[in-house]
Amino acid sequence: MNDKDRPIGERIAATAREHYNPPLATPREEMWAEVASRMQANEVADETGTAVTPLRPATSPTRARDLRALPGGLGWWIGIAAALIIGLGLGRLSLGGGGQASAVAERAAPAGTTFAAAPDETPEDSATIPRPADETTLAAAPPDRASAEDANAATRGPEVSADAATTRSERPAPGTGLPYRVATQKHLDRSESFLAVARSGLVQAEDDPEFGTWARSLLGRTQLLLASPAAREPEMHRLLQDLELMLAQIVVSVETGDPAEARIAGEGLEESDLLLRLRSATGGTARPTGIRRPARSSSL
Amino acid sequence: MDDRQLVERSLAGDRAAQRALYDAHVDRVYRLAYRMAGEEALARDLTQDTFVRAFEKLDGFRGDAAFSTWLHAVATSVVLNGLRKRKKIRARERDMKAAEHIGVTPRHAEPDLKRRLHEAVDGLPEAYRTVFVMHDLEGYTHREIATALDVKTGTSKARLSRARARLRIELQEFAEEWVA
């Protein structure tokens, strides 16, 4: 803030203090009555055990005790046999192309398939989402970029890209299924490419009318992911939130064509460590695919 | 009795200690909720949720920071999540209302400073608005904001600076009025 702007900034703050949602007197007693009654209800529920109704207990101690109590150590033999069967099954899967089979099955599922909730997801989280393999075609990204990315994805094969994206995510968000993780990874890849281009100043709104469309498309997708279980892990949630903020700034700067907005967005990108975090989240594998490089102009 | 002792007694189930903690902090939590929500009923709900959540999770308060800092982190999280949910519901309601009024010419209100200021602050991205409201309107320090939002102090400062810059741009047409 320079000296010329300072008094105006202070006056804005002072006016806002006076007129922006000025709080009324605190309804202390009414609120306490509600807080106390809710806490009492919670305590009663805890005591009677009605508050927590686990859908599926993590372990079943009675069942384990029952098995161990079988005569002649039969329970142990059953356990060993079960472990052997599971081991054999896993071995067959790893040798016999089980991954391919699952990839084929995933490809065969129609777009917009409702994915079942993962074990630790609530039924509400079982949402209808676009299949990750179809993400590139469904994206509202500019046609030339989207098609270029599609072409690359097609060359690599969907299972390869999906696997790569999964392995890149070293710490998958708890409670998020594979489709969400793959979709998030792809999205972060694209966003990193976009922000890298925006920062380097290779593309500017006036030079490339699709720049704004690209930003809006990424913004919309970020907001969708924020509202999905993909954003359940706090770290991923923060990353997506910061990305949303940055993209919103870029969209505003493109839409208004205001150099001041563009400057604020550019400064924000420079000051934040967003690109670095995106790179670390994607493993630094983002490819600036399908990006036209017009003549150099001033950056955001 | 200080906050730390009150927390210990609250954990032991002392309702009077809980009430004392509530009394000590409710005004500031309610003010923040009201500033952010702009509605009495919603601010009340958010404040109540904050205290219920805080008392439920009180055993997670390790005493590394002041109780008020910890409580305001809970409050900020409750308020922002509550507003996000409300925003989604509102968006749906707005879509339906917009459909009802297709073809109806809206009455045009005279633009004035207060209304524009309100719109400008409401129009800030959530992260900017939160910092602007907390710092410039409610007097939180950058350190308190950083802890509440789980960001660095520098991030809080940067967001405030951008929020102010955006407001100056949005309210440029009133600059002369202000200077005068």
> Is residue A57 in a domain?
no
Global pTM exceeds 0.90: no
> Is residue A248 in a domain?
yes
Question: Could you tell me which of A14, A41, A40, A30 has the C-alpha nearest to residue B30?
Answer: A30
Whether chain B has a CB inside 8 Å of the CB on A4: the answer is no
Whether chain B has a CB inside 8 Å of the CB on A33: the answer is no
Q: Do A16 and B37 touch (CB under 8 A)?
A: no
A107-131 pLDDT, tens digit each: 433 443 333 333 333 333 333 333 3
Rounded distance between C-alpha atoms, residue A230 and residue A184, angstroms: 7
> Is residue A204 in a domain?
yes
Is residue A26 predicted with pLDDT exceeding 90?
yes
Q: What angle do CA B54, B59, B63 make, to 5 degrees?
A: 90
* Domain count for chain A: 1
Is residue B93 predicted with pLDDT exceeding 90?
no
A270-298 pLDDT, tens digit each: 777 788 888 888 775 544 444 443 333 44
Give me the residue from A245, A260, A267 closest to B125, CB to CB.
Answer: A245
Query: What's the pLDDT at A288?
Result: 45
From chain A, pick out residues whose CB is under 8 angstroms from the CB of B20.
Answer: none
Rounded distance between C-alpha atoms, residue A179 and residue A174, angstroms: 13
What is the token pair recorded at A210? 């699709």
B142-174 pLDDT, tens digit each: 999 999 999 999 999 999 999 999 999 888 877
Q: Do B22 and A260 touch (CB under 8 A)?
A: no
Chain B: residue nearest A235 by CA? Answer: B150
Percent of chain B scoring above 90 in pLDDT = 64
Average pLDDT, chain B: 86
What is the token pair recorded at B154? 């520098």
Question: Could you tell me which of B91, B61, B89, B73 has the C-alpha nearest to residue B28?
Answer: B73
Q: In the beta sheet, which residues pair with residue A16?
A: none
Topology alike, domains B1-106 and B110-175: no
Question: Could you tell me which of B54, B4, B129, B132 has the C-alpha nearest to residue A13?
Answer: B132
Mutate to test the interface with A, among B113, B164, B179 (most CBs of A within 10 A): B164
B113-150 core/surface letters (b: 16 or more CB in 10 A; e: else): eeeebeebbeebbbbbbbbbbbbbbbebebebbbbbbe
The CATH code belonging to domain B110-175 is 1.10.10.10
Query: What's the pLDDT at A160?
Result: 36
From chain B, pick out residues whose CB is under 8 angstroms from the CB of A260.
Answer: 165, 169
Of the listed ranges A16-20, A142-146, A229-233, B166-170, the least confidently predicted one is: A142-146
Q: Which domain holds residue A239?
A: 137-282
Question: Could you tell me which of B162, B136, B161, B135 has the C-alpha nearest to residue B146?
Answer: B135
**One-letter amino acid of A29:** E
Contact predicate A204/A299, CB 8 Å:
yes
A46-79 pLDDT, tens digit each: 666 554 443 333 333 444 444 444 555 566 677 7
DSSP SS3 for B13? coil
Rounded distance between C-alpha atoms, residue A263 and residue B5, angstroms: 50
Q: Do B52 and A30 touch (CB under 8 A)?
A: no
Is residue B37 predicted with pLDDT exceeding 50?
yes
Give me the residue from B19, B164, B175 closest to A1, CB to CB.
Answer: B164
The CATH code belonging to domain B1-106 is 1.10.1740.10
Q: Do A1 and B137 touch (CB under 8 A)?
A: no
Domain ranges for chain B: 1-106, 110-175
H or E element at residue B70: helix B67-100
Give the distance from residue B40's alpha carbon to the nearest chain A alpha carbon, in angstroms: 8
Interface predicted TM-score (ipTM) of this complex, two decimals? 0.83
CB pairs below 8 Å between A and B: how many? Answer: 114
Sign of the CA dihedral running A280, A285, A291, A294: positive
> Is residue A270 in a domain?
yes
Q: Do B113 and A15 touch (CB under 8 A)?
A: yes
Rounded distance between C-alpha atoms, residue A96 and residue A91, angstroms: 8
Rounded distance between C-alpha atoms, residue A161 and residue A169, angstroms: 12
> Is residue A144 in a domain?
yes
Give the distance from residue A284's alpha carbon to the nearest chain B alpha carbon, in angstroms: 24
> Is residue A162 in a domain?
yes
Rounded distance between C-alpha atoms, residue A268 and residue A286, angstroms: 21
